[in-house]
Amino acid sequence: MTLLASPAVRMGISISIATGLYGVSFGALSVTSGLNFWQTMALSMLLFSGGSQFAFIGVVAGGGSGIAAMSAATLLGMRNGIYGMQLNALLRPTGWRKYAAAQVTIDESTATSTGQTDPAEQRRGFWAAGIGIYVLWNLFTAVGALAGSALGDPKQWGLDGAAVAAFLGLLWPRLKGREPVAIAVVCAVATVLAVPVVPAGVPILVAAVVAAVIGWFSHGRSDEGLEPDVDPYRERHRHGGHGGQPGGSGQGGADHAAGSGTGAAE
Amino acid sequence: MNLWFWLLVACAAAYAWKLVGYFVPARLLENPRMSRVAGTMTIGLLASLTIVNTLANGQVLAADARLGALAAAGIALALRAPFLVVVLAGAGTAALLRILGWN
């Protein structure tokens, strides 16, 4: 019960519920993309990174090959390596905890942890969000997968529209300011140009290369695009009277603070 | 079986990325350029996935009910709706447009 007195643990639990719930949409979309129940569960249990999981099934749904799906998911997972580095410096896990921490290193657990200032709270926040999301995400993936396979014709239910909305929903929190919007537009245009000329799935990889080149040669926030899908500290600050700067990721803690005052898209 | 293979490769690669952060000396990765590429690539990939799922049918570009789903999701996000509501708005709009005869 004393654990529940910790603000970081409470934050971790609420973020777990918010994130876990949308595992339903992943599960349903995955089985309607052509994956079976256990393939869907393998992605949630083993891959466990929302954006990469949606990317994998998004490529498969579009008729892309397995290798293209794997490539898109893997490129999208690169940011987890950056989070791992931050968390390793912050929490200094040892022994088997390092391997366990790695598996639950995702946008939301990182954001929950780095949003705290006290080292003990950083540790509690990370584990509460990481384990909580892992359990609920897998549970709700299973629910979604079972419901999805009972739906019949996915198009009749607009599930292809649900996939579109899911990707826009994942992109949206990262469009803070003019620059990320410009990157998104350039990559969208590159995708449209690539679709008719290369096999399905490959346009996504073309866009990844374009984005990487932009990132390599331009100078901007080094944490651009590294915002969580569900910002754990957004709610609190929305109610906290920061009316002028709602939901800026600058509230997200030291690692998210740099230069995020330009929340134009907010 | 082929899909299983690439799926498991993707799982292994995802875990490898995560683990790299914990084992590679911070000095090597503490390069702002690497963080920046990881971030811009995340934006680029998600933008591309959004467009592909909206406009592509294999290698053919098409304007169909999915465009309505994109618009509905955009409106829901602008109104700060939670993720699940955004997804339902997209599905509902696409389904409704199909009933109205726009495929």
- Residues of A within 8 A of B49 (CB-CB) are 54-55, 58-59, 72, 167, 204
Spatial distance between the Cα atoms of A204 and A118, rounded to a whole number of angstroms: 40
Q: Of B2, B14, B73, which has the smallest distance from its Cβ to A169's Cβ? A: B73
Looking at residue B15, what is its pLDDT? 97
Residue A38's closest chain B neighbor by CA? B4
CB B48 within 8 Å of CB A205: no
Contact A81 B29 (CB under 8 A): yes
Which of B23, B46, B60 is most worth mutating to test chain A (most A CB atoms within 10 A of its CB)?
Answer: B46
Residue A262: band (very low, low, confident or very high) from pLDDT cuts 50, 70, 90: very low
Radius of gyration of chain B (CA): 19
Is ipTM over 0.85?
Answer: yes
**Residue A134: which domain range?**
2-172
Burial per residue of A198-216, b for 16 or more beta-carbon CB atoms within 10 angstroms, e otherwise: eebbbbbbbbbebbbebbe
Q: In this structure, what DSSP letter does residue A174 have?
A: G
- Residues of B within 8 A of A223 (CB-CB) are 35, 39
Q: Is the pTM of this model over 0.90?
A: no
Looking at residue B29, what is its pLDDT? 60
Question: What is the number of structural domains in chain A?
Answer: 1
Closest alpha carbon to B41 in A200, A52, A60, A257: A52
What digits encode the pLDDT tens for the residues A159-197?
Answer: 889 989 988 998 998 898 899 999 999 999 999 999 999
Helix (H) or strand (E) holding B61: strand B60-61
Is residue A179, in this structure, part of any structural domain at all? no
What digits encode the pLDDT tens for the residues A218-240?
Answer: 877 767 777 777 677 765 444 43
Residue B80's closest chain A neighbor by CA? A266
CB B60 within 8 Å of CB A90: no
Closest alpha carbon to A63 in B21, B62, B69: B62
CB A51 within 8 Å of CB A137: no
Contact B48 A207 (CB under 8 A): yes
Spatial distance between the Cα atoms of B67 and A60, rounded to a whole number of angstroms: 20
Q: Where are the alpha helices (DSSP H) in A43-106?
A: 50-61, 66-76, 78-91, 96-103
Is residue A221, in this structure, part of any structural domain at all? no
- Residues of B within 8 A of A218 (CB-CB) are 36, 40
Spatial distance between the Cα atoms of A95 and A46, rounded to a whole number of angstroms: 20
Is residue A134, in this structure, part of any structural domain at all? yes
Shortest distance, CA A58 to any CA of chain B (angstroms)? 7
Q: Of B2, B45, B72, which has the smallest distance from its Cβ to A66's Cβ? A: B2
Looking at residue A141, what is its pLDDT? 96
Tokens of A207: 């866009």
Looking at residue A226, what is its pLDDT? 76
Is residue A18, in this structure, part of any structural domain at all? yes
- Residues of B within 8 A of A48 (CB-CB) are 14
Q: List Cα–Cα distances, B60 to A65, A109, B101, in angstroms.
A: 16, 39, 21
Spatial distance between the Cα atoms of A169 and B85, rounded to a whole number of angstroms: 10
Q: Of B19, B44, B69, which has the smallest distance from its Cβ to A207's Cβ? A: B44
Q: Of B8, B24, B94, which has the smallest distance from its Cβ to A158's Cβ? A: B94
Mean predicted confidence (pLDDT) in A128-157: 91
Closest alpha carbon to B17 in A18, A166, A51: A51
Mean predicted confidence (pLDDT) in A86-99: 91
Average pLDDT of chain A, as a whole number: 83
Shortest distance, CA B37 to any CA of chain A (angstroms)? 5
